[in-house]
Chain A
Amino acid sequence: MNTRQGHVVLAHGGGGQMTDDLLRQAVLPRLGNAVLGELLDSGILPSVGQDKLALTIDGYVVQPWRFPGGDIGRLAVCGTVNDLAVCGAVPMGLALGLIISEGFAVEEIETILDSIARAADEAGVKVVTGDTKVVNRGNDQDIFVSTAGVGRVATGRRVSPDLVQPGDKILINGAIGEHGLTVMLAREMPEVHSRLTSDVAPLNGLIEHLMHVVPDVVFMRDPTRAGLAGVAVDLAERSGWRVTLEESAIPVRPVAEHAAEMLGLDVLEVANEGKVVIVVRPREAEHALTALRGHPLGRDAAVIGEIADVADGMCELRTSIGGRRVVQKPYGEQLPRIC
């Protein structure tokens, strides 16, 4: 059977000739490299000498799998690369696990693999090992990806909420909420045409550029599922200091503001996939801002708050109208409102 024209069948995940077919026809032409090409049971990476290793894994189940600005393939590379990068690690290799529903079009698998290849190329990282399984449950639009990543952390480099001190400044590299809102609109209101696109992007280039200028970045985290609120609350709880955010300084594009309003969501709680929250010492804030703005993924960077000298571990928002309120972590599932 020619996988090029067909749909995925259970045998594609069986480890036999059909799996080889899929690998040779769809995967290797797109993701092939010296390590992956050996087709060993593990990808063998070079030694890192005195450096430390960072290891991360993330599962990607986004629906729909294709959305304005990206797809599950791009997400599966960027999410894992970003998890490494915000720990100060330089990504060395990715391991990719695909779980595909029987009936999924092979052509669409190829689209996703193309997208993985492009994102990996952008991030300068290679897929060094992988796995494919086919399941006969669910509907034929289901595809799940797990991506593990390994990276090297230069000796002496450490970013941690424990290092945060009062007076430190909080920065973000651009406008928030666009990934989560784009996916929600694509899923819940496909009939709505919006200019919103996902911000999904590999941040390791931006972060290396920043750390070159400001080597002693104190803390970094990518505000994914629980949004900026989730990261800010975590930072407050983990550091024990009060985190103060200035609403008017947080970059939000009007199109995102309107979409959030329409969906009944708080843009602070919406997922990002190309944003990083950064904490630096006050004297470094201007340098860090200039460095971020000098990179294509940081043009709209802004200082959005600071660590206050109050040891209560709360996150406070100074609102655009000059009011104050506490920010809490969202519950988990974002539930649209009734009217």
Chain B
Amino acid sequence: MMGSGSDLCTSLSRLRVSAGSAGRELVFMEVCGTHTTSAFRSGLHSLMPDNVTLLSGPGCPVCVTAQGDIDLLIELAQQPQVTLCTYGDMLRVPGARGSLETARGHGASVRIVYGAMDALAFAEQHPDRQVVLASVGFETTAPGAAAAILTAQRRHVVNFTVLASHKRVVPAMLALLRAGEVRLDGFLCPGHVSVIIGSEVYRPIVEDHGLPCVVAGFEPVQMAAALAELTEQACGRRAELINQYIEAVTSTGNRTAQLLLDEVFEPAEVRWRGLGTIPESGLVIRNKYQAFDAQSRFNLAPAEDHEPRGCLCGQVITGKATPRDCKLFGTTCTPVHPIGPCMVSSEGTCQAWFKYRGAGTCPGRTARRGQEVRA
């Protein structure tokens, strides 16, 4: 699983040598929740040179979902005829009035599913319920939702709809760069998303913004190799697009999944937490599949957007702040009592910091905010 130790040593020493010659701080960003989790879980950060930082960008599906969209689905779950199917991460995200978890505690019908097809199967087994799939995620989860909608249409399932708040990763990366508020030296491009959309889509980042892009897998050894490549490019003032995840990612991606996406969804301007609205950055259900769109089935008005008071999730996922900058982090906002989504999701930066960097407090002990384990 971990790859051979010598590969890792080679990559880490490449990283150290080039970082040593950089003579400056290098900041890279990953935009994939699985990269976030893998780096923290394996302790990769503790092995990186001091002048290299790996930030987590807008790659956690729960975290990038606008607060208004979360309010909307909690409201929908409270309708008596509705069974809301959701991915587990969404359950505890607080909305303006409680979370799906608290709604469930008050009698709302909320089911955790692992895939869109599970929700469809539940709808077929329960024709008396209005089954709504709360579908969040990037180009990775959207094809599943598209396939479920097409299957529902073929099987004439009339009690199944999708409340889609899907996002496209590249428009968000470009929006982040255009805003110019975060200085980056390169992107560690996502693995799962790239399986679907291919590696060539990052070309504009390399050519128009002069930033290196490396597509990588999720093993620590793969991430270390990608960081070494990024550091070498940054030191050499080069910007190239490198696909280091060739076992899973091709230059053009998964054509079948792309056709599915294109059939059911169309790109649209949508709102992101922390990034505002970005043109072409979302995937909304096309008019011809309106019958399966929960938004139109339940005549939902777009919810007003707001952020929890004091919560810096929006800035954390855009690299403008670290969890440590947030006054709520580790004090009022913890994995047990989360305020913002980044503390809820196991892919969220705040939860990863809290769990794996020891930034939280131990019950009954002195607060150790910001402390890391050192030898």
List A residues at the B interface (Cβ < 8 Å): 188-189, 237, 254, 257, 264, 266, 312-314, 316-326, 328, 331-339
Contacts and interface: CB of A to CB of B under 8 A. Distances in A.
Contact of A321 (B40, B44, B137): B44
Contacts of A321: 2, 5, 8, 42-44, 47, 220-221
Contact of B44 (A266, A318, A323, A337): A323
B168 interface: no
A323 B347 contact: no
A331 B192 contact: no
Interface string B77-91: 000000000011111
Given A237-B363, A336-B87, A336-B114, A325 B41 contact: yes
A338 B42 contact: no
Interface string B85-105: 001111110000000000000
Nearest to A233: B362
A323 B45 contact: yes
A254 B1 contact: yes
Contact of B136 (A254, A314, A335, A338): A338
B120 to A, nearest CB: 14
A331 to B, nearest CB: 5
Given A237-B362, A314-B373, A339-B34, A320 B347 contact: no
A156 to B, nearest CB: 30
Interface in B301-335: 335
Contacts of A338: 33, 61-62, 87-90, 136-137, 141, 345, 347
A336 B43 CA distance: 22
Contacts of B2: 320-321
Contacts of B199: none
B43 A319 contact: yes
A326 B357 CA distance: 6
B20 to A, nearest CB: 19
Interface in B134-164: 136-138, 140-141
B112 interface: yes
B43 A323 contact: yes
Residue among B5, B47, B356, B373 having the largest count of chain A Cβ atoms under 10 Å:
B373
B274 interface: no
Given A323-B42, A323-B45, A316 B373 contact: yes
B203 interface: no
B61 A339 contact: yes
A316 B374 CA distance: 10
A144 to B, nearest CB: 19
B1 A325 contact: no
Given A325-B43, A337-B347, 4 more contacts: A328-B354, A335-B112, A336-B88, A338-B347
Name the prevailing secondary structure of the A interface residues. Answer: loop
Contacts of A318: 43
10 contacts: A313-B365, A321-B221, A323-B44, A323-B45, A325-B42, A325-B356, A325-B358, A336-B112, A338-B62, A338-B347
B369 interface: no
B140 A328 contact: no
Contacts of A326: 355-358, 372-373
A1 to B, nearest CB: 31
A335 B43 contact: no
A339 B137 contact: yes
Nearest to B338: A331
A312 B358 CA distance: 11
B100 to A, nearest CB: 11
Contacts of B89: 335-338
A63 to B, nearest CB: 13
A193 to B, nearest CB: 16
A328 B353 CA distance: 11
B73 to A, nearest CB: 14
A338 B5 CA distance: 30
B341 to A, nearest CB: 12
Contact of B43 (A254, A324, A332, A333): A324
A79 to B, nearest CB: 24
Contacts of B8: 321
Contacts of A332: 336
Contacts of A266: 41
A337 B355 contact: no
Contacts of B47: 321-323
Contact of B355 (A189, A254, A319, A328): A328
A321 B1 CA distance: 11
A331 B336 CA distance: 6
B46 A325 contact: yes
B201 to A, nearest CB: 18
B40 A335 contact: no
Contacts of B34: 339
Nearest to B2: A320
Nearest to A238: B364
B33 A337 contact: yes
Contacts of B282: none
B360 interface: yes
Nearest to B337: A331
A317 B137 CA distance: 31
B273 to A, nearest CB: 15
B349 interface: no
B241 to A, nearest CB: 23
Contacts of A334: 88
Interface in B25-45: 33-34, 40-45
B358 A335 contact: no
Contact of A335 (B33, B92, B141, B357): B92
B109 interface: no
Contacts of B45: 323
Nearest to A321: B220
When A and B form their complex, which 6 residue pairs have the shortest distance between CB atoms, in order from nearest?
A323-B43, A335-B88, A326-B358, A319-B43, A336-B88, A325-B356
Nearest to A244: B373
Contacts of A335: 88-89, 91-92, 112, 346
Contacts of A317: 43
Contacts of A313: 362, 365
B351 to A, nearest CB: 9
Contacts of A314: 358, 362, 373
A334 B62 CA distance: 16
A188 B68 CA distance: 29
A323 B33 CA distance: 20
